[in-house]
Chains A and B, each alone.
Chain A
């Protein structure tokens, strides 16, 4: 029996959720928070989205969508075009290729792996921006951004897993 048009559309919309959620995370990062000192070290929310979906639903946020998220991130944040695109792409690729290792493991393992991967990602972004500008950037804001991202990971993972349970349980 072929599913009716409504069922197909429902599935299709549900399949858009991972990209949609990651995109909203991207926009959230850009909202002016009016918190003193926060703007230099805001967590890299879209990176968490890309990492999470790469492990749990790599079919719905494939490499090319991670690339697009990265490009949008570059445009909104004003970093040289391509830097975050490459970073997101590599994070998605690495996480998706190692996903068998994560499935069924405890949350601490996921967090630890995210720490390693994000360290690589922030380091690479720092290196690329420094290369493109021709000057070494001060690494301390990047370090704080990294720590901030790491601290936010549990909360965001909870939100993302709730989203996954709500929309993508059986599609």
Chain B
């Protein structure tokens, strides 16, 4: 009897401990949310570290998936060979015409550049990275890339697929990084409407078609207008293609991006020598600054 009383007390005690542990974990997750909201560097570092640790596994797992995708694509292509050929022939004829136009414009451009003494844009350095993680999530559009700061990737660099803007780098670890797609709810891209040179911001909202906000002036934007990056904000180099206007209704302008998320296997992370979306590097920690000042004094 006495023993069962003790056991009962022990059980109650264990239950209490379990309850307490459960409650403290709930408090911990709420605290993490608040800390994350405050943009604490420690949180960012931890995220990058864990992503780094998982990167090799994710990389290994992404390869067979890519192979399967390639094989199915091959079958698909074989099935549509005839129609694809016809389409390509037609496109080739159209592009030959464009090539003539482009050659003429290029030579004209060279002459104009020379007569105006234009300083040419620096050639960008780039890194090609494999997409190792594409977490299908309703709450954000981002991808993990298998390259990080040791490969020269920095926060804010533009990510391209071919010539098309895909997104920018949001988090960087040592050997992995997170790319935020232009459709993510946190992505803001300064853009130009190519034909009218109207400035606006492309704001993602987690849907496949981001919308234009802060449209400058009285816009005359029609469906089918091409959208390219603008140089404002120093985030992206000007003129990278993004997409075409897909719908204009009640003042809401939506853009259909050129990038097809499911086709992304390799992307190029490009360093245009611009500040990036986060234009300032973090200031060095105070001790180092003090040390360098001391050095200056000594000198």
**Which residues of A are in contact with B by a Cβ distance under 8 Å?**
27-42, 63-64, 67, 70-72, 75-83, 85-86, 89-90, 93, 122, 125-126, 128-129, 132-133, 135, 137-138, 141-142, 144-145
Contact = CB atoms under 8 A, between A and B. Distances in A.
Nearest to A43: B136
A32 B264 CA distance: 9
B66 A42 contact: no
A133 B29 contact: no
A78 B69 contact: no
Given A33-B262, A89-B25, A79 B144 contact: no
Contacts of B265: 32, 34
Given A67-B28, A138-B206, A78 B138 contact: no
B26 A86 contact: yes
A167 B178 CA distance: 36
A93 B47 CA distance: 25
B43 A32 contact: no
Given A64-B21, A125-B139, A142-B138, A34 B263 contact: yes
Contacts of B25: 63-64, 67, 85, 89
Interface of B: 18, 21-22, 25-26, 28-33, 35-37, 43, 46-47, 50-51, 54, 57-58, 61-62, 65-66, 68-69, 131-144, 170, 178, 180, 185-186, 205-208, 260-265
B135 A93 contact: no
5 contacts: A78-B135, A78-B180, A83-B139, A89-B22, A138-B207
Given A29-B135, A85-B28, 13 more contacts: A30-B134, A30-B144, A31-B58, A34-B66, A34-B263, A38-B136, A39-B262, A77-B142, A78-B140, A80-B36, A85-B25, A86-B33, A133-B185
Contact of B36 (A82, A86, A145): A82
A29 B136 contact: yes
Given A36-B262, A75-B51, A138-B206, A80 B138 contact: no
The 8 closest A-B pairs by CB, nearest first: A42-B136, A82-B32, A34-B69, A141-B138, A77-B135, A82-B33, A86-B29, A32-B134
Contacts of B134: 30-33, 39
A141 B138 CA distance: 5
Contacts of B137: 40, 42, 77-79, 145
Given A72-B50, A89-B22, A93-B22, A40 B208 contact: yes
Contacts of B31: 82
Contacts of B135: 29-30, 42, 76-78
A93 B19 CA distance: 10
Given A29-B136, A30-B58, A30-B144, A81 B32 contact: yes
A80 B43 CA distance: 10
A33 B65 contact: yes
A52 B133 CA distance: 25
B142 A78 contact: yes
Nearest to B25: A67
Contact of B261 (A39, A76, A90): A39
Contact of A37 (B22, B262, B264): B262
Nearest to B18: A63
Contacts of A144: 138
Nearest to A148: B136
A40 B43 contact: no
A139 to B, nearest CB: 8
A73 B80 CA distance: 39
